[in-house]
Amino acid sequence: MNNQPSPLTPHELRLINDYWRACTYLAAGMIYLRDNPLLREPLSHGHVKRRLLGHWGSSPGLSFIYIHMNRLIRKYGYRGTPATLAATKAHAELQNNLSAAAHLIHGSSEGRFSITYCPGHLSQQEIESVNFQYADLAAMTQRYHPDKLKDGWNTLPDGEKIFYISNPALGLWACRSRFEK
C-alpha cells in the first residue's frame, strides 16, 4: 500500500471527480445522442444517433489530463522558467509530471510582454494567482471595442498600441499575418 500523503485534499478530490464525471457525461452525450442531452424526457430511439462518427473514446482521458493541468496552473501559475524550475525542484507533483512543468514554462510570457485577461466569470484573484493581469470585462469592452479590433497589432485613437487575439485559445497562432510573407 502507498503510504505517501495525497497531494489533494478530500474537497479537491471531490470537486475534480464531480467535474470529470460531468465531462465524461457530456462526451457520452456527444457520442450517442442527437437530442435530449439533459434527459428532460424519457430517452427514446429518436434521441440516439443512428451512426456514430468520429473518435470520442479519448474524451474521458483528455478531460482527466486537462482537469489536473488546470489544478497545477492554478497552484503554480505561469511564472516563467526560473520560478517553474525552482517549483519543480521543490515539489514532487511537478517532478513526477515534467510535461506539466514544461506547459507552465511555455505558458509564461517570460516577462517579455503582459497578458491581460478579462474573462467575465473568473475573479481578479484567480487571474492574478496565475501571474496574468486582470481587467474588468465591461470596462475593457468599452475601452477597446473588440468588434472593431483586428487580430494582431492595433493602434488606438489615443496612440496606445496593443496586440489583440480574438480567440485566446489559439494564442499567437490566431494571427494569420505571422505566416504570410
Residue matched to cell numbers 495525497:
6
Strand partners for 153 = 163
pLDDT in tens, 86-97: 999 999 989 988
Asked if residue 166 lies in contact with residue 151, where contact means CB atoms within 8 angstroms, the answer is: yes
Q: With 60 as the cut, is the pLDDT of residue 1 above it?
A: no
Cα separation, 144 vs 129, whole angstroms: 24
Cα separation, 44 vs 21, whole angstroms: 23
Alpha carbon 26 to its chain's center: 17
Mean pLDDT of 117-144: 90
Q: With 70 as the cut, is the pLDDT of residue 179 above it?
A: no
Q: With 50 as the cut, is the pLDDT of residue 178 above it?
A: yes
Considering only CA atoms, which of 4, 180, 3 is closest in space to residue 92?
A: 4
